[in-house]
Amino acid sequence: VEARVVDVVVLAPAPSGHPDRWQVLAMRRAAGTRCTGAWEIVHGRIERGERPPAAARREVQEETGLPIERLYTITVNPFYLQAMDSIQLAVVFAAVVGAAGPVVLGPEHDAWEWLTPAQAMERLAWPREHQALQYVLHLLRTGDAGPVEDVLRVP
């Protein structure tokens, strides 16, 4: 079992006066791709020789065009990939961007939306994404990772 995938929860600060601290980016899978119509967070494969943080940064750039201000390592999720009959690991990150701006979608997605955390929990298709979002919201509840910032923030 090895880490072959990254999942990235992309967050932007919520508008001033909003009760939530964060907005969450969700993207809808395009027609002709696997899981057509499913809403998801950024994710993708780790390329040969690539480290997981570099893959997370690359995937956010390719799938959204958004610049990352801060990147955090969150957890690792195992999953079974039926097509390859293998158990794989997804390294989960949180990427904080400066503002909830427009997204430049890649070919895998046909729509995007900035959601409240509650809306994201309702919209995201995968249970492991719900769990990742809960972890992220807990860890970044004060705006950064607090006393564990030095361990979880990726330089």
The sign of the torsion formed by the CA atoms of 116, 119, 61, 4 equals: positive
Predicted confidence at residue 64, as pLDDT, reads: 97
Domain residue spans in the chain? 3-154
Does residue 150 surpass a pLDDT of 80?
Answer: yes
Per-residue pLDDT of 2-41, as tens digits, reads 789 999 999 999 998 888 999 999 999 999 998 999 999 9
Q: Which among 142, 145, 126, 112 has a CA at the least distance from the CA of 24? A: 112
pTM: 0.94
> Averaged over 78-97, what is the pLDDT?
91
C-alpha dist (Å) from residue 17 to 13, 14, 21, 83, 137:
11, 8, 9, 46, 18
Looking at residue 66, its amino acid is L
Residue ranges with strand state E in 14-143: 22-29, 39-40, 42-45, 68-81, 86-97, 109-115
Mean pLDDT of the chain: 94
Predicted confidence at residue 101, as pLDDT, reads: 87
From the candidate CATH numbers 3.90.79.10, 2.60.120.10, 3.30.365.10, 3.30.450.20, the one assigned to the domain spanning 3-154: 3.90.79.10
Quick one: what percent of the chain has pLDDT higher than 70?
A: 99
Does residue 45 surpass a pLDDT of 90?
Answer: yes
Per-residue pLDDT of 111-149, as tens digits, reads 999 999 999 999 999 999 999 999 999 999 999 999 999
Contact 52, 3 (CB under 8 A): yes
Predicted confidence at residue 80, as pLDDT, reads: 86
Predicted confidence at residue 1, as pLDDT, reads: 64
What pLDDT band is residue 62 in, cutting at 50, 70 and 90?
very high
Q: Which long-range contacts (CB under 8 A, 24 or more apart) does 58-62 make?
A: 59/6, 59/8, 60/8, 60/10, 60/95, 62/106
What pLDDT band is residue 88 in, cutting at 50, 70 and 90?
confident
C-alpha dist (Å) from residue 85 to 5, 55, 62, 99:
16, 23, 28, 40
Does residue 66 surpass a pLDDT of 80?
Answer: yes
